[in-house]
Structure 1
Amino acid sequence: MENEPLLMIPGPVPIPQSVRSAMMRQAINHRGPEFSAAYAEIVRTLKPLFGTENELYVISGSGTAGMEAAVANFGRDRRIVSLVNGKFGSRFAEIAGRYGSATVLESTWGTPLDLAGLEAHLAEGAEVITMVHNETSAGIKNPAPAVGALARKYDALFIMDGITSIGGDLVEADRWGVDVAVVGSQKCLAAPAGLAAVSISDRAWERIAETRPYYLDLAAYRKSGKKDLMETPYTPAVPLFLALREACRLIEEEGIEQRIARHRRMADAVRAAAAAWGVDLFPELDEVHAYSNTATAMKIPAGMTDKDLRGTVKKMGIEIAGGQDHLKGKIFRIGTMGAVGAPEILATLAAVQHALRKHGFDAGDGVEAAAGVLE
């Protein structure tokens, strides 16, 4: 809408009007049939996005609540290996350290994970793996199939943060051997922030911890979810559930394959623009890692500041993301997730191109390059 900033960051993302409108109604009984039907519809729609036939439950809390629920229920007092090559892998490792005996296998942000180190720890008896599938802080997609294969080889549980990939990129949790997967509502699902969905395999249920948190007790969610009227164990954020149900309706209307293709095309367009500008992408890849299809990370050209680049873009009503922690001032990131398409991508790239040229960088025509991908 007019005068609203265009959010082209790795979440939250622009929310469709019908999703906003779904929240603007009188309260309903969260122990009644209307809420139960909405919850069931959400679960039915999300399972194919996860690529799972496992049980799936929705928590009133952000994606981080889902991460903590996964570790607190299935990693407590166990030997955990946390794979890290970005901000959110570090967060997962920190959570793991609160509940289990955590070993952190940290790679430089934006570089490949240490899979050889992972196998060595699994051979020595590690029981649980945590990994971020799509590390938006560095623009790199990590090899979930390879990690899942190692988890199965050594009979370890695989807990995967799919917060910024589920709903926007291919995720096949069951095929990849993911035991617990998590998504957040405000990313590729294009719903308001504040909900997390968690899928749990039969293997994980067999190993659930005896001592569990109260609010994030997934066994309690399982018990309430199996009632005649599907419920949550505690009072849910009802307006957010109704918004997510509408977001799920829009996802089904678009089609999962088409949605994934759209996200990939947008990311391809941004990468094409970067190549035409002469701006370097940040991640360093190998044969099993890939560029993120929901957030592209690029290096800020020498001689230019974060304020020069993102500040200029923001003056035009568009917000893009900067680097986090030690990457502040070194990279910038453009989100390509949720309810956006060619108009938003081209407007964002035009603004970035203007900022690059305004501050002395001899950028080629990235907008034209991106248009060729999007047409």
Structure 2
Amino acid sequence: MQNEVLLMMPGPVPMPERVINAMSRQAINHRGEEFGGVYADCVRALKPFFGTENEIFLLSGSGTAAMEAAIGNVGVGRKIVSLVNGKFGERLAEIGGRYGDITAIESEWGHPLRLEALAEALENGAEVVTMVHNETSAGILNPAAEVGKLARKHDALFIMDGITSIGGDHVAADDWGADIAIVGSQKCFAAPAGLSAISVSDRAWERLSEKRPYYLDLKAYRKAGSKKPMETPYTPAVPLFFAFREACLIAEEEGLDNRIARHRRLADAVRAAAAAWGLKLLPVSDSLHSPSNTATAILYPDGISDSDLRSGVKKTGIQIAGGQDRLKGRIFRIGTMGAVGPSEVLATLASVQGTLQKLGYTPAADGVSAALEVLV
């Protein structure tokens, strides 16, 4: 549509017309066959993207609601250890502090997790581990498999935030030992904000806390979800379910492997452009950590302000993200998630490059050409 801004952020992201149109319909009974079929379609389509055979439930609430559901259902009064190397790992730790005895194992944002400290905490009796798989605030992909292995070795529950990786990158919740995994609707699935999905293992069901949140009580979701047709325990955001079902079907049609490959290729193109410009990525990579494939965090060169760059890019009809909290003014972030493709990425890179030049920064080379070589 005319005058629409292209959102090239780590969510929300542009929505396909099919998804938008799915919301434009009359209300229905959310205790009937039609809604139950919508819910069931979502669950069926989501399982391969989670990499799980566990039960999945949809919550009428954003990813943060799913974070709270995860911790509030199994973490009450327990020793929780949270791995933190970005804003969302910090959020999990803050939620954990509301429910249990929290220990936050912090790294500098964008730097590798301290797995040795996690092993020590588990040896000292930690019962629940939380970790963000894809920390978009710092553009780093964290080692879920290794964290899950440590948690399972010490018989601890593993809560994995896959909000910005499920549906866009490789996730294997069951193989990685993720007892609870979560995703948000407005990220890699390119649906409206306001829904989240959560998978729950048998081990997690066995260790449910006695006192759980009322609205986010997973036992209530399980009881309602077992009905024929499927239901939610409380009134769901029905139009969002229709939109999310359409987004899940689009992802299913594209295919898991194709979808993952597309996201990685687009991220590779952004990284190639940054290297050509002579700019560094924020995250520190090692054998276990790598840059995110759904959001690239790029460090600003000296003399370029966050507000000037992002406002300049927005004047071209494109919106990118800045840094959050302690990273504010230090980085800008380009999303490569959801329904975007080469044309959107190239347009974004051309806008960023042109704005950098207008602000007085001379790129080392043509980033758009470097990206194009990756994409063709």
TM band (smaller chain) = over 0.9
Partner in structure 2 of residue 157 of structure 1: 157
CA distance in 2, matches of 1:199, 1:307: 39
CA distance in 2, matches of 1:219, 1:189: 26
Give the 5 Å matches for 1:315-334. 315-334=315-334
Relative to the length of structure 2, the TM-score reads: 0.99
For residue 238 of structure 1, what is the amino acid of its counterpart?
V
For residue 333 of structure 1, what is the amino acid of its counterpart?
R
Q: How far off its partner does 1:2 sit?
A: 2.1
CA distance in 2, matches of 1:215, 1:312: 43
Partner in structure 1 of residue 238 of structure 2: 238
Give the 5 Å matches for 1:35-114. 35-114=35-114
Q: How far off its partner does 1:357 sit?
A: 1.1
How many residue pairs get aligned? The number is 375
Partner in structure 2 of residue 373 of structure 1: 374
Aligned-partner SS, 1:334: strand
For residue 367 of structure 1, what is the amino acid of its counterpart?
V
CA distance in 2, matches of 1:216, 1:115: 30
CA distance in 1, matches of 2:244, 2:53: 20
What is the CA deviation profile of residues 298-326 of structure 1, one whole-angstrom value per residue up to 9, with x for unaligned ones? Answer: 00110111122111101101000001112
CA distance in 1, matches of 2:280, 2:6: 24
Relative to the length of structure 1, the TM-score reads: 0.99
Give the 5 Å matches for 1:276-295. 276-295=276-295
CA distance in 2, matches of 1:251, 1:96: 32
What's the C-alpha RMSD, in Å, of the aligned pairs? 0.6
Aligned-partner SS, 2:155: coil
Q: How far off its partner does 1:285 sit?
A: 1.5
Runs (5+) with no aligned partner, structure 2 = none
CA distance in 1, matches of 2:60, 2:81: 27
What is the CA deviation profile of residues 106-150 of structure 1, one whole-angstrom value per residue up to 9, with x for unaligned ones? Answer: 100000011000000100110000000000000000000000000
CA distance in 2, matches of 1:186, 1:58: 13
What is the CA deviation profile of residues 31-83 of structure 1, one whole-angstrom value per residue up to 9, with x for unaligned ones? Answer: 00000000000000001100000000000000000000000001111000000
CA distance in 2, matches of 1:288, 1:254: 28
Partner in structure 1 of residue 22 of structure 2: 22
What is the CA deviation profile of residues 310-358 of structure 1, one whole-angstrom value per residue up to 9, with x for unaligned ones? Answer: 1110110100000111211110000000000000000000000001111
CA distance in 1, matches of 2:312, 2:129: 41
Q: How far off its partner does 1:228 sit?
A: 1.5
Partner in structure 2 of residue 226 of structure 1: 226
Runs of 4+ that moved beyond 6 A: none
CA distance in 1, matches of 2:229, 2:156: 34
Partner in structure 2 of residue 190 of structure 1: 190
Aligned-partner SS, 1:130: strand
CA distance in 2, matches of 1:90, 1:152: 23
Aligned-partner SS, 1:274: helix
CA distance in 2, matches of 1:229, 1:163: 27
CA distance in 2, matches of 1:176, 1:344: 33
Partner in structure 2 of residue 171 of structure 1: 171
CA distance in 1, matches of 2:8, 2:93: 27
CA distance in 1, matches of 2:206, 2:308: 53
Partner in structure 1 of residue 211 of structure 2: 211
CA distance in 2, matches of 1:108, 1:366: 28
CA distance in 2, matches of 1:163, 1:307: 27
CA distance in 2, matches of 1:30, 1:42: 15
Partner in structure 2 of residue 148 of structure 1: 148
CA distance in 2, matches of 1:327, 1:121: 28
Aligned-partner SS, 1:158: strand
Q: How far off its partner does 1:253 sit?
A: 1.2
Give the 5 Å matches for 1:3-18. 3-18=3-18
For residue 373 of structure 1, what is the amino acid of its counterpart?
V
Aligned-partner SS, 2:249: helix
1:314 aligns with 2:319: no
Q: How far off its partner does 1:286 sit?
A: 1.5
Aligned-partner SS, 2:311: helix
Report which stretch shifted further, 230-239 or 352-361. Answer: 352-361
For residue 369 of structure 2, what is the amino acid of its counterpart?
E
Give the 5 Å matches for 1:248-287. 248-287=248-287
Aligned-partner SS, 1:193: coil
CA distance in 1, matches of 2:10, 2:366: 24
CA distance in 2, matches of 1:285, 1:338: 24
Runs (5+) with no aligned partner, structure 1 = none
